[in-house]
Amino acid sequence: MRLIGLDPGLRATGWGVVDAVDNRLSHVADGVVRTDESLDLAGRLVELHDGLCDVIVRYRPQEAAVEETFVNKNPGSTLKLGHARGITLLAPARAGLPVAEYPPNLIKKTVVGAGHAGKQQIQMMVRVLLPGCAIATPDAADALAVAICHAHHRETAARLAVAEAAP
């Protein structure tokens, strides 16, 4: 199963693609979609949408996962992040992918073992869990962490569904 994780941001949205086979994960690709800060909001959202659509077409994931938004102290920043997050939900959904959402603390707890882990810890554990991957940026590392989190939680949900269906 090929999965894409997305870490929304208006300036830079991280993306990470992994293949999940049974309990094994392998790195496929990662990167960032950047927007031109000189454009108005609508123009930047179009750039973000088009960039994510290109990544989805190129790597053909079967499912997507997006980090939920946390509330910043600055309401304007939170609102802009919300716009970018909307695009990160829209692009894979329009491509026909199921889209899961995970809160930041669950992603960190799944990948690192602590819900308040720092970016350095996330990057280190992503490298441990996906040997040989050269992470493009911290945003890409966060996106890979989202994909890893989804791989673990979707597998658990599938096993529970099978167990509940058994006579």
Catalytic residues: 7, 67, 139
Cα separation values, 149 from 15, 58, 63, 153, Å: 14, 22, 13, 6
List beta partners, residue 5: 16, 65
- Distance, in Å, from the CA atom of 122 to the CA atom of 149, rounded to the nearest integer, reads 12
Residues 6+ apart with CB under 8 A from 95: 53, 56, 57
d(CA 30, CA 32): 7
Distance CA 48, CA 150 (A): 22
